[in-house]
């Protein structure tokens, strides 16, 4: 038996967990009609196959109709969920993992214009900043109803074969009762700590009396809200002790912080550039104070830190949740001593930010996650070996090379630069985004393992490619910054990439015109303001940086507000003129009737990239398919069979930003779904 602390079994009441790594509850927003159907099943089972001890599914499954599914939550209040849950629990158990589900009433942390359009409720009228709904103040008959709803939902989950349920308290209705900041009730549920905890205890009692003792019951709660007037650390420890002493639950899942604002949420679930494992010691303090089974997750994305968390006795089970979205097979790789092959979570938080915008959770650099029904985590070997030539070693090119290599093809990559990475190398120049380079480093290591040849400083011409005698050519040359968007004065502007790369010297009074709305504008602003410039970001959009999304915006705002960067929305830079050492920026508005000027010494334009596609168009007439991709075959997961030119020498495909400016995930998905069928 292994001596690895992470691989030791753990006895949780009657349940033996096969190791110490769990996937904590999270809602990837994969439900269909509020039910965990085939897609959800495939996603969950993949992690069980990968060796995790327990997977906790359904972050925040709703127990009541007035907990509307704001991020496409499972509807645990419907009886029809039971067979779907049974299908999932059977399949996960088959793989040797335990499975629990998280139940909640979101309280004010949702919106009334979802689901059945019922008023949102809470123990006060205080609005939650993130979801914006003004809640109804909860009444006695609401409380009775919701306690029963929790018990009914728990019973459904037991009937569906779950090993247990976890209550999502933090930030949701249960903690809205516990926190003095959100509880303004009189009577038995308001005032003293006893009273504020009464709802939580009543829910536990109701559940326990319904499900009996041989069912795991846990709670995920904040033991320190880190808000003035909120639940502080000493009260949090007292709460933890009372939870244990209730005798109603089997473990504590410790959270530190508050989630009512984007900034608060980002401190609870840190993203790239923020400290690793920031609350692990705190979870250890709770465990020491309670001597009770303690679980915890918060940016423990590497195996060494997870191992330390267990070996040091800080927690009993360690959550590696986003890490498992990036690589579902972490435990298997630990067991097989292939830790170095784990695809690293880079904390990009594309997954979580997307669900708060109503999308499904996708991992920025594993396009198979959430697409298990169509995309492989492990690529199958091809029937016959082909020669595949790829132009460009950015994320799209390297993903194509990795996948083609894993399929057993002979792969040659041409890269004009001296290093791989393309735009990722640029974005990683911001210290806070340097984890992004792991997207490239992991692919380089995988390419090496699969014998891919990469030629750097190699500017590929059509003849160079033809000389390789390829069966397939994939053009993944990316794009170049596109600044040619003004009616006059394009020659006077620089791009955000020029600023980030250091190719353009920072000005002192700078206007950034951002109508791409992505990271590059904010990164450029940070470089410029950090160098002492006065910076204004202007966008014609209704809000700034729409592509950066909520949690990713937090660290930027923390930095840019301190640097006094200003934001102007709904104005459009139209032209630039030179006036001595200065530039006159002429500003209009899509709403009409406005003409303003800014006098600055530098104008930066952030307008995405324009494809670098010369080589593609040179090769097009020489290919069998003239570059055409059959969308039907691509979507159906079939090999490409288009022939437009029977005399052609090779199949030709173009992927990523070489087609049109999109993002890293799109580039990697383009590559995976094409190359897996070559």
Ligand X SMILES: Cc1cc2nc3c(=O)[nH]c(=O)nc-3n(C[C@H](O)[C@H](O)[C@H](O)COP(=O)(O)O)c2cc1C
Summarize as ranges the residues that interact with ligand X (CB under 6 A): 24-28, 59-60, 102, 168, 220, 269, 297-301, 319-323, 351-352, 355, 361
Which residues 6+ apart lie within 8 Å of 204 measured at CB? 167, 217, 219, 246, 248, 249
Bridge-partner residues for 391, per DSSP?
Answer: 414, 475
Assess 527 for contact with ligand SF4 (CB under 6 A). no
CA distance to 139, 206, 677, per residue, from 145 (Å): 10, 11, 53
Q: Give the nearest distance from C-beta 638 to ligand X in angstroms.
A: 30
Cβ-count burial 54-63 (b if 16+ within 10 Å, e if not)? bbbbbbbbbb
Cβ nearer to ligand SF4, comparing 539 with 552: 552
Cβ nearer to ligand SF4, comparing 284 with 328: 328
Assess 606 for contact with ligand SF4 (CB under 6 A). no
Cβ nearer to ligand SF4, comparing 149 with 327: 327
Q: Give the nearest distance from C-beta 667 to ligand X in angstroms.
A: 21
Cβ nearer to ligand X, comparing 324 with 572: 324
- Residue 168 binding: pick among ligand X, ligand SF4, none (C-beta 5-8 Å cut-off by kind): ligand X
Q: Give the nearest distance from C-beta 347 to ligand SF4 in angstroms.
A: 5
Task: At 572, give phi and psi (nearest 5°).
Answer: -120, 130
Assess 326 for contact with ligand SF4 (CB under 6 A). yes
| Candidate list 52, 58, 203, 364; residue touching ligand SF4; CB under 6 A | 364
Q: Give the nearest distance from C-beta 420 to ligand SF4 in angstroms.
A: 18
Distance CA 17, CA 358 (A): 34
Assess 363 for contact with ligand SF4 (CB under 6 A). yes
- Residue 350 binding: pick among ligand SF4, ligand X, none (C-beta 5-8 Å cut-off by kind): ligand SF4
CB 573 within 8 A of CB 511: yes
Task: At 203, give phi and psi (nearest 5°).
Answer: -65, -45
3-state secondary structure 527-563: HHHHCCCEEEEEECCCCCCCCCCHHHHHHHHHHHHHC
Binding segment toward ligand SF4, per CB under 6 A, in 119-127, 203-211, 319-327, 666-674: 319-327
- Residue 364 binding: pick among ligand SF4, ligand X, none (C-beta 5-8 Å cut-off by kind): ligand SF4
CB 101 within 8 A of CB 120: no
Assess 322 for contact with ligand SF4 (CB under 6 A). yes
- Residue 363 binding: pick among ligand X, ligand SF4, none (C-beta 5-8 Å cut-off by kind): ligand SF4
3 state SS of 334: helix
Distance CA 234, CA 638 (A): 59
Cβ-count burial 176-190 (b if 16+ within 10 Å, e if not)? bbbbbbbbebeeebb
Distance CA 345, CA 324 (A): 8
Cβ nearer to ligand X, comparing 28 with 422: 28
Assess 297 for contact with ligand SF4 (CB under 6 A). no
CB 391 within 8 A of CB 412: no
- Residue 438 binding: pick among ligand SF4, ligand X, none (C-beta 5-8 Å cut-off by kind): none
Assess 349 for contact with ligand SF4 (CB under 6 A). yes
Q: Give the nearest distance from C-beta 134 to ligand SF4 in angstroms.
A: 32
Number of residues that bind ligand SF4 (CB under 6 A): 13
- Calculate ∠ Cα 527-533-537, nearest 5°: 75
Residues that bind ligand SF4 (CB under 6 A): 322, 325-326, 345-351, 363-365
């Amino acid at each position: 038996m292994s001596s690895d602390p992470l691989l030791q079994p753990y006895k949780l009441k009657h349940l033996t967990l096969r190791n110490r790594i769990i996937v904590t509850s999270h809602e990837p927003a994969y439900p269909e009609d509020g039910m965990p159907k085939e897609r959800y099943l495939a996603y969950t089972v993949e992690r069980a196959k990968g060796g995790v001890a327990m997977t906790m599914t359904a972050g925040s499954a709703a127990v009541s109709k007035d907990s509307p599914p704001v991020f496409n939550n499972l509807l645990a209040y419907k009886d029809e969920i039971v067979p779907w849950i049974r299908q999932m629990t059977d399949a996960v158990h088959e793989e040797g993992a335990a499975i629990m589900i998280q139940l909640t009433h979101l309280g004010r942390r949702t919106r009334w214009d979802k689901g059945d359009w019922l008023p949102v409720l809470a123990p006060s009228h205080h609005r939650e900043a993130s979801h914006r709904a003004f809640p109804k103040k909860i009444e006695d008959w609401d409380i009775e109803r919701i306690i029963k709803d929790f018990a009914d939902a728990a019973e459904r989950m037991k009937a569906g074969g779950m090993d247990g349920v976890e209550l999502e308290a933090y930030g949701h209705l249960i903690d809205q009762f516990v926190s003095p900041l959100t509880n303004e009730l009189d009577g038995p549920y308001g005032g003293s700590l006893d009273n504020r905890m009464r709802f939580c205890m009543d829910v536990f009692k109701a559940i326990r009396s319904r499900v009996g003792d041989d069912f795991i019951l846990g709670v995920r709660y904040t033991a320190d809200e880190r808000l003035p007037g909120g639940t502080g650390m000493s009260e949090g420890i007292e709460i933890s002790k009372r939870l244990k002493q209730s005798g109603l639950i089997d473990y504590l899942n410790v959270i530190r912080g508050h989630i009512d604002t984007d900034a608060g949420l980002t401190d609870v679930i840190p993203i790239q550039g923020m400290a690793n494992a920031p609350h692990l010691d705190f979870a250890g303090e709770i465990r020491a104070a309670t001597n009770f089974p303690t679980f915890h997750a918060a940016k423990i994305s590497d195996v060494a830190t997870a191992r330390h968390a267990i070996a040091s006795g800080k927690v009993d089970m360690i959550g590696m949740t986003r890490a498992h979205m990036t690589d579902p097979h972490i435990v298997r790789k630990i067991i097989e001593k292939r830790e170095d092959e784990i695809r690293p979570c880079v904390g990009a938080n594309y997954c979580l930010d997307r669900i708060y915008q109503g999308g499904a959770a996708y991992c920025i650099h594993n396009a198979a996650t959430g697409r298990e029904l169509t995309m492989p985590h492990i690529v199958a070997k091809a029937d016959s070996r082909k020669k595949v030539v790829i132009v460009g070693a950015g994320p799209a090119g390297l993903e194509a090379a990795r996948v083609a290599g894993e399929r057993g093809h002979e792969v040659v990559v041409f890269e004009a630069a001296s290093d791989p990475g393309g735009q990722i190398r640029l974005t990683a120049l911001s210290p806070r985004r340097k984890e992004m380079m792991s997207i490239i480093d992991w692919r380089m290591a995988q390419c090496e393992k699969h014998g891919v040849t990469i030629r750097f400083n190699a500017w590929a011409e059509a003849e160079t490619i033809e000389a390789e005698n390829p069966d397939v050519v994939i053009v993944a040359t990316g794009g170049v910054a596109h600044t040619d968007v003004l009616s006059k004065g394009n020659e006077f502007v620089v791009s955000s990439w020029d600023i980030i790369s250091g190719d353009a010297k920072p000005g002192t009074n700078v206007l950034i015109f951002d109508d791409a709305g992505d990271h590059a504008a904010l990164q450029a602003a940070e470089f410029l303001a950090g160098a002492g410039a006065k910076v204004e970001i202007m966008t014609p959009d209704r809000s700034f940086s729409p592509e950066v999304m909520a949690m990713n915006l937090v660290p930027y705002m923390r930095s840019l507000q301190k640097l006094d960067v200003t934001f102007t929305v709904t104005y459009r830079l139209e032209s630039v003129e030179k006036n001595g050492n200065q530039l006159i920026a002429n500003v209009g508005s899509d709403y009409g009737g406005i003409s303003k000027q800014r006098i600055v010494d530098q104008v930066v334009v952030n307008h995405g990239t324009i494809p670098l596609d010369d080589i593609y168009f040179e090769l097009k007439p020489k290919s069998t398919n003239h570059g055409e991709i059959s969308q039907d075959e691509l979507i159906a997961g079939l090999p490409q069979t288009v022939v437009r030119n029977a005399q052609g020498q090779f199949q030709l495909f173009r992927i990523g930003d070489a087609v049109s400016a999109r993002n890293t995930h799109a580039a990697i998905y383009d590559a995976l779904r094409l190359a897996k069928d070559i």
